[in-house]
Each structure stands twice: as C-alpha cells, then as structure tokens.
Structure 1
Amino acid sequence: MHYDAIDNKHGLPTDPFKAIVAPRPIGWVSSMAKTGIPNLAPYSFFNAIAEQPHYVVIGSGGMKDSLTNIEAMSEFVINLATYDLREPMNMSSARVAPDVDEFKLAGLTPEPSRFVKPPRVKESPAALECRLFQIIPLPDDHGDAHQYAIIGRVVGVYIDDRFIQDGRVDTAAMRPIARMGYSEYATVEAAWRMRRPD
C-alpha cells in the first residue's frame, strides 16, 4: 500500500504510523507542579536528539499535566522504563486529576534529583535530569496547535552502578522497554556491535 499521509486515508482499522516508527524509547517523565505535587507519566514520542551538549525531545499530544508542569517549572526528569517496571510505568499512564501523585498511584519511590527539583524514580536504573530549552507548538493543517515538542537540555545523569561494566553502560542488562504500534512493546535484551567503515 501507499497512501497520502496528509489525508491519512490508509483504509486500515488503526493508523499504522506508530507501528512503522518503532521501537520508540519511552520518555518516563517526572515533573513537579507549582504546588509541589510530583507527576509521573510515560511518553511514547521521545528521543535523544543531540550530544555535547545533550538534548532530548518529548512529543506531547495536548496540554497534559507534564507539559503544564514543565512550562511552569522549566525542569523535568526522564526515567528509564524497564521490563521490571512495566506495570508501574503503565499504571502511571492513567488519566487522573492533576493533584494525584502518580508515584503513589504506581507504588514507586520519589528520589530527590541532584540538579533539578522534580524527583526521579528510585527504582529506575537510569535517569536524565533536564532543564527546559524550548516548547514548540506543532500546528495542524488549519494552523491549530494541539501537539507540542518539548526540548530539554540534560544537566544531570544518574546511572545505577550495577549496570556499569568495564567502563560501559550495559544497556541490555537494564532491559529497557520501548513502544511499538497499537498496545505493543519491545524489550531490549541483547546488544550487538557494528563499527562505521571509517
């Protein structure tokens, strides 16, 4: 099949876009409201986009609590979602009122961050502490923005020492999970190397 992505008339029961751009890392975002209430939510539109300095991007469909908090406080944390944390991660995606603490809802421990105010997930083996760089509205064909790109600069990195082997982070040992299409996920359990031809 080959179809016009603007009209998006693919003829399938569900849009196949996210099943093609896969697997996608999960941005498990912890943020904090002005009132001090922590928020935790997974985002399937997330990735690292630059190094030296390090930048990440989150795609938010609508003005969700995380985006509201990030806009107000200019800080957030990306926690690594792993296979062992899949159920709490999923629980933290529940649509609840802004004053609900998803850490408590998911049975997770908020651990103080070192460089930003929002806590990280203590149970997660890695976390990126970020300061907001820019929020970019992503307009539709009519010029209305209901989606946003949140770009953050990484100012602090936490790694559980158990996953550092011979000077390298053993990513596969942490078993990070990624989002596929529909309600499918993938788990990284093996790694292989291939060097550039230069």
Structure 2
Amino acid sequence: MELDPSTLDEGKIYNFMMSTILPRPIAWISTIDAQGRPNLAPYAYFMGVCCVPMTVLFCPVVPPRPKRKKDTLCNIEAVPEFVVNVASASCIDAVNLSAAPLPAGESEFDLTGTTPVASSRVRPPRVKEAAVAYECRVRDVIEISAAPGGGWIVLGTVLMAHVDDALLDPDTCHVDLHGLRPVGRLGGGSFTNAAADTFTLTRYRTLADLATRK
C-alpha cells in the first residue's frame, strides 16, 4: 500500500509517523520565560545532530487551539537557552506529568515534585533527578509550518553536559545504558525502556572488515 500525505488528514499522518518512527528518545526540556519563571516539558521529536560543535535538536509542534506556540518555544524566543534533561525510567512518571497543559508561567517543577538546579552556563535550570543533562544555547529556530500539524526545529549548541558519576566511564565517556535506563516513545501511549532488550552488531568500518564477514 502507498500513502500519499497530501490525501491524508493530520490525525492519520500523525498516527502513521508515530507508529513507524520509533523508538524516539525523549528530551525533557527546561526553559525560562522573560520573567525568569521555569517551564519543563517532554519532546519526542529529539535527536543529536553532530559532535563538533556538540549540537542537538528538538521540534515543538503547533499546539491545539487557541495557543499558537508551545510555552517552551515562546520561552526560547525570549531567552534563547534551554536544557535537555534525558528522560529515564526512574523519573518517567514526572516526565509524563510535565506534559499536562498548565497555564503559561506555572511551574511544572512544582507540579511534578522535581528539583530545579542552577545550570553552569545557561539561565534555565536543569532537573536534579535527571542522570544526564545538556545545557544549550539556541543556534537557530527553523519554522517548518505554523499551521495545525506544523512545527519548528530548534537547534542548540551544547555548552556544558552533566552526568551522574556512577554512570560514566571517564576514559571513554561511554555512559552505562543499564544504569541510565533511557525511555523511548512509541506509538500512542506506549513507551519502552531502551535498556531492557538490546543486542550487539559488528560495525564494518573498512573494506578489510567486509572481507572477513561470514
């Protein structure tokens, strides 16, 4: 079967994308508004971009009417900094609760019982309960569409990263997957613990490597 996006409504496109582009890592984004009030919200359109400079992106979509932009995006336009707190199984209930539609200016930190901690390089706080956090300065905001079903790409340059000492190999900077237990978003209301079912593949990095495969 072929699906032509131009013939589908927003809901069907959303369902198809959400149930095939998976698992999606969850960025738990903390920002502040022009008055310094914090906001905390999860985003499953999230990915690393490159290492030099260390860059990440996330994508806030157009919210339901009557709002035109999510509070996170409005805050970033006022204070162009944010923190990506990695969503782990240990705090997934708080991550889920922080998606509730609070009025602008009300704190999801208070709602979820999570602890704001002062960041080192940016003004928004990070989440103490998150084992990994990336402090970011906005590099660019690209509007794809401001119509219903549309959204923006927010690119951030990482200025500082935080990680639980117990999870980090200081020689390689590898983070222990089973200690971190990152959560991924699936279709509908389903999620997955990325550390629960893993396997290893050999990477073929040279032509010589290809010659040795069986």
- In the superposition, the TM-score normalised over structure 1's length comes to 0.91
Where does residue 16 of structure 1 map in the other structure?
A: 16
* Distance across 2 between alignment mates of 1:175 and 1:103: 22
Q: Any stretches of 5+ residues in structure 1 without a counterpart?
A: none
In structure 1, the residue matched to 2:203 is 195
- Cα distance, 1:162–1:191 mapped onto 2, change above 3 Å: farther
> Does 2:87 match 1:88?
no
Name the structure 2 match of 1:147.
151
Matched, 1:160 2:164: yes
User: Which of the pair is proportionally richer in strand?
Assistant: 1
- Does residue 106 in structure 1 map to residue 142 in structure 2? no
Q: Classify 1:154/1:3 alpha carbon distance in 2 versus 1 (closer, same or farther; 3 Å).
A: same
Q: Which residue type is aligned with residue 71 of structure 2?
A: D
Q: CA deviation at 1:14?
A: 7.0
What TM-score does the superposition give when structure 2 sets the normalisation length? 0.84
Distance 2:142 2:14 in 1: 27
Kept in 2, the 8 Å contact 1:138–1:145? The answer is no
What are the Cα deviations for residues 56-76 of structure 1, in whole angstroms up to 9, with x where unaligned? Answer: 111111210000111110100
Task: Say if 2:145 and 2:151, in contact at 8 Å, map to a contact too.
Answer: yes
AA partner of residue 200 (structure 2): W
How much does 1:99 deviate?
1.6
CA RMSD of aligned residues (A): 2.3
CA–CA distance in 2 between the matches of 1:10 and 1:123? 35
- The aligned residue for residue 211 of structure 2 is none
Point out the more displaced range, 155-164 or 185-194.
Answer: 185-194
Shift, 1:164, TM fit: 1.3
Tell me if 1:183 matches 2:183.
no
Structure 1 residues 16 and 196, CA gap change in structure 2 (3 angstroms): same
